[in-house]
Structure 1
Amino acid sequence: MKKNNVILIGMPGSGKTTIGTELSEKIGYGYIDSDSVIVAREGKRLNEIIAEIGREAFLDIEAKINSELCADRCVIATGGSVIYRGYAMEKLKTIGRIVYLKIPYEIIEQRLGDLKKRGVALKEGFTLKDLYEERTPLYEKYADIIVELKGDTIAKSVEEVVRALQ
């Protein structure tokens, strides 16, 4: 398997899906949303899966699906919690470059609604701020490239990612 994919990681609301679809068109790559793959395989929305089987079991399913992805010249938008299972991240590193879409907490907070309805794998008692502080070092650990976004337009954000990939 060639290492010719672009794998987007980052917080929920960082723009992985939106930027990922636009980026794939701009660079002529296919597009995979790993959350959509999970939903298709499990036959349920993310929030339903988490409610039914719990956070840890969901993280295992997410990691398994991400580690089994076979892609060639694709932009892959991962779920925000993929970084909790190191083996999945190591597998993803073998098929592409990991790009962390780093966005200020304040912008994430503005963009997100109800985390549970959105299907965010949140630890019991955790706030969005707790989640941001816990995940940021993990995103940075696994990233090959960190793109700092300021909440600009989609087109400007895509340009930032393209520039970082060159």
Structure 2
Amino acid sequence: MKNLILIGMPACGKSTVGVVLAKTVGMRFMDTDLLIQEREGALLQDLIDKKGNDYFQKVEEYVLRSIDTENTVISTGGSAVYYPEAIRHFKKKGLVVYLKVPFEAIEERLDNITTRGITMGPGQTLKDIYNLRIPLYEANADITVDTGDLTVEQTIEKIMKAIG
């Protein structure tokens, strides 16, 4: 089976849904944020704080483009859509699934944005990032699943219906 690549904002449920989805359909699970942390030997936020956004983004793009796997649910970092080559790579390897969540839900779920490993420019707010990324998620998704107030199980059911 091809891969299922989950994209969306931080706290939209990519990792949580991804693990359960992988178990449900008998696929492996991979979290690109964890791959970055393993490669760099540091937490995402520490990497951003110590080496800067530019360095983090170079590492993230490299890791995303290096993934060569099959039959895997891949949870990407929220900024994966910033890298057109990485997205093209993913589209060759599987279906890109956008987990769409309203801004209010993201804001509620993110306790402290400064510890989540989110690349932000000076003065940039969560709302700014949301507004910047939403069109990118929508443009790059093969499938969009509006998760809203759905449970993990309901979200997986919607994904399963969408992929046939």
Question: TM-score range with shorter-chain normalisation?
Answer: over 0.9
State TM-score, norm by structure 2.
0.97
Partner of 1:73: 71
Distance 2:128 2:32 in 1: 24
Amino acid at match of 1:77: S
Q: Secondary structure at the match of 1:14?
A: coil
Distance 1:63 1:140 in 2: 19
Contact 1:5 1:73 in 2 (8 A): yes
Distance 1:151 1:82 in 2: 24
Identify which of 19, 23, 28 aligns with 2:21: 23
What displacement does 1:136 show?
0.2
Gaps of 5+ in 2: none
What displacement does 1:165 show?
1.3
Q: Secondary structure at the match of 1:81?
A: helix
Distance 1:12 1:92 in 2: 19
Distance 2:123 2:162 in 1: 36
Distance 2:30 2:144 in 1: 20
Equivalent residues in 2 for 1:17-166 (5 A)?
17-166=15-164
What displacement does 1:115 show?
1.2
Q: Deviations over 1:104-157 (max 9, x none)?
A: 111111100111211111121111111100000011111111111112211111
Distance 2:88 2:50 in 1: 28
Distance 2:81 2:162 in 1: 21
2:9 maps to 1:11: yes
Root mean square deviation, CA, Å: 1.0
Q: Secondary structure at the match of 2:150?
A: coil
Contact 1:19 1:157 in 2 (8 A): yes
Runs of 4+ aligned residues of structure 1 deviating over 3 Å after TM superposition are: none
Contact 1:9 1:16 in 2 (8 A): yes
State TM-score, norm by structure 1.
0.96
Q: Secondary structure at the match of 2:78?
A: coil
Contact 1:103 1:149 in 2 (8 A): yes
Distance 1:36 1:151 in 2: 26
Q: Deviations over 1:13-69 (max 9, x none)?
A: 100000000000111100000101000010000001111111122111101101100
Distance 2:36 2:96 in 1: 20
Equivalenced residues, count: 164
Contact 1:59 1:82 in 2 (8 A): no
